[in-house]
Chains A and B, each alone.
Chain A
Amino acid sequence: DTAVSQTPKYLVTQMGNDKSIKCEQNLGHDTMYWYKQDSKKFLKIMFSYNNKELIINETVPNRFSPKSPDKAHLNLHINSLELGDSAVYFCASSPPWANYGYTFGSGTRLTVV
């Protein structure tokens, strides 16, 4: 019974396309996140979202947009994909209390060709 699940696991697409990655958590956590891990393996926050507030990392291009239909889901939409968007995207969730840390999904490996 997967706690944080992402789909698809792999995504290969052409430049200029629009794609979405879905994320669902069944942990009852209040906050969900999207992280990007590039080829150098750095994990960088893209968005954090709870049912009250969306916090955007200002370095993220506005081609990326999170969509949350409800507390258990946070999807990532990407418009006009570019070669530099190729990376692994991880969804994560956490409860309100600080010392719990995150639970990550298994990642979506996006390749833009």
Chain B
Amino acid sequence: RKEVEQDPGPFNVPEGATVAFNCTYSNSASQSFFWYRQDCRKEPKLLMSVYSSGNEDGRFTAQLNRASQYISLLIRDSKLSDSATYLCVVNSDDGQNFVFGPGTRLSVLP
């Protein structure tokens, strides 16, 4: 099983839609979780950390399910500017660094 898995998409949604991405991870001992966003031909940028109790930042909500080893990202009221690839990030099996998922591509359509 790969360390971090995501549905590659693409997810094509209309403006204003709500969209959710899931990510599964293999390391049951992982303690740190993030969502990054990467625009085309740009570097990944931290979108939000994911906390055990779940957390919200404006239109974005992140959830963690330790028992099932998955994290999710919910985007409400999608904007055109949300179009990007969303990367799930988990600390590695050896705890030395972070492992990036392959990313889920989102296209928000007018």
Binding site for B on A (CB under 8 A): 33, 35, 40-45, 48, 55, 90, 98-99, 101-107
Contacts and interface: CB of A to CB of B under 8 A. Distances in A.
Interface of B: 31-32, 34, 36, 42-46, 49, 85, 87, 89, 91-92, 96-100, 102-103
Given A43-B87, A101-B49, A107 B43 contact: yes
A101 B34 CA distance: 7
Closest 10 pairs between A and B when the two form their complex, measured CB to CB:
A104-B43, A43-B100, A98-B32, A101-B46, A48-B97, A101-B34, A45-B97, A106-B43, A55-B96, A107-B43
A65 B89 CA distance: 25
A104 B45 contact: yes
B49 A102 contact: no
24 contacts: A33-B97, A41-B102, A41-B103, A42-B102, A43-B44, A43-B100, A45-B98, A45-B99, A48-B97, A55-B96, A98-B31, A98-B91, A101-B32, A101-B36, A101-B46, A101-B49, A101-B98, A102-B46, A102-B98, A103-B46, A104-B43, A104-B44, A106-B42, A106-B43
Contacts of A33: 97
B102 A90 contact: no
B34 A105 contact: no
Contact of A41 (B85, B97, B99): B85
Nearest to A6: B43
Contacts of B91: 98
A27 to B, nearest CB: 13
Nearest to B50: A99
Nearest to A98: B32
Nearest to A57: B97
A89 B46 CA distance: 18
A41 B102 CA distance: 7
Contacts of B44: 43, 90, 102, 104
Contacts of B43: 90, 104-107
B96 A48 contact: yes
